[in-house]
Structure 1
Amino acid sequence: MTIARITAALGLLFVMLLGGVATATAATPAAAATVPARAAAGKAAPHDSVEYVKVLAWHDDEVRERCPSTACRLAGVLTPGTLANGYCWTLGDSVTVNGVINYVWVRISPDDSKPLWVSAAYLVGDKYGNLPADDECPNVS
């Protein structure tokens, strides 16, 4: 990671802490902070809710189209410090970061015709990228 990225990530974390929207913890990079709990979205989420959780990438996180797998088409990359809307999570391909294996993928698009997925391994927070444990996506194929 370059010094510029580290500086940007630390600056973002500092701003979030001052704004009261995050709390720091002394754990792995994926648990370095938490992001805001819930916010209202403009349209229904995949699980018939209008709620989402802001998820924060701490490392480059590949966005995959249609399924939670590294074999699915690459749609882009969330760069460190990028916030996205997390609607629900599901189990998919394993991703290993710093010796920790994570099978959880977070859906970051509400559009059922073109779902977008990122590995929670590269999101700040717990193994679900800070989504509630009961926000599992229904009927993921």
Structure 2
Amino acid sequence: MTTRIFSRTALVGAGALALLGPLTTGTAVASSVGEQGAARAMAAPYAVVPYETVNVRTGPARAFPAVGTVPANQPRGAYCWERGGTVSDYGITNNVWVKLAEGYVSAVYLMGDEYGGLPASASC
């Protein structure tokens, strides 16, 4: 009888990421950078998914410059959330911003609850 040992490896599909939910810190997550679609790996404890293409900003408010975008339905690794500028859209008003490796996105545009699907305890 042969015994095989499997270890958790980098996720390569957006579908696989969405199915797994929160990730451990040591897990690499495949992602694309902005609209360019260039793949790169990053470690993040959580995953978030935007409803629509959303701007990534240098800080937690619309007053900060946009540095790229995350396409709709494309999972991204997320680290934590913090309160910042208030955003109102789609009948939702919220001041929670989620920190990604690339910058910040408003939780208004993320699937999940008021924290963009992150635990309430995951504040920055």
Specify the TM-score bucket, using the shorter chain as the normaliser: 0.5 to 0.7
1:107 aligns with 2:107: no
Which residue among 117, 120, 129 is the counterpart of 2:116?
129
Query: Could you tell me how far 1:39 is from its partner in structure 2?
Result: 3.0
Instruction: Provide the rounded CA distance (Å) in 2 between the counterparts of 1:71 and 1:97.
Output: 16
Instruction: Provide the rounded CA distance (Å) in 2 between the counterparts of 1:96 and 1:116.
Output: 20
Instruction: Provide the rounded CA distance (Å) in 1 between the counterparts of 2:61 and 2:44.
Output: 24
Instruction: Provide the rounded CA distance (Å) in 2 between the counterparts of 1:128 and 1:71.
Output: 20
Q: Is the 8 A contact 2:56 2:70 kept in 1?
A: yes
Give the greater-gyration-radius structure (CA): 2
Query: Could you tell me how far 1:51 is from its partner in structure 2?
Result: 5.0
Query: Could you tell me how far 1:68 is from its partner in structure 2?
Result: 0.3
CA deviations over 1:54-92 (Å, ceiling 9, x no partner): 100111211001x10101111011110111111000001
Query: Could you tell me how far 1:96 is from its partner in structure 2?
Result: 1.1
Aligned to 1:31: none
Greater helix content: 1
Higher relative contact order structure (alpha carbons within 8 Å, sequence separation ≥ 6): 1
Q: How many residues align?
A: 98
When the two chains are superposed, the root-mean-square deviation of aligned CA atoms in Å is: 2.8
Aligned to 1:91: 83
Normalized against structure 2, the TM-score is what?
0.68
1:76 aligns with 2:63: no
Normalized against structure 1, the TM-score is what?
0.60
Unaligned runs of 5+ in 2: 1-14, 29-42
**Residues 51 and 80 of structure 1: CA distance in aligned 2, closer, same or farther (over 3 Å):** closer
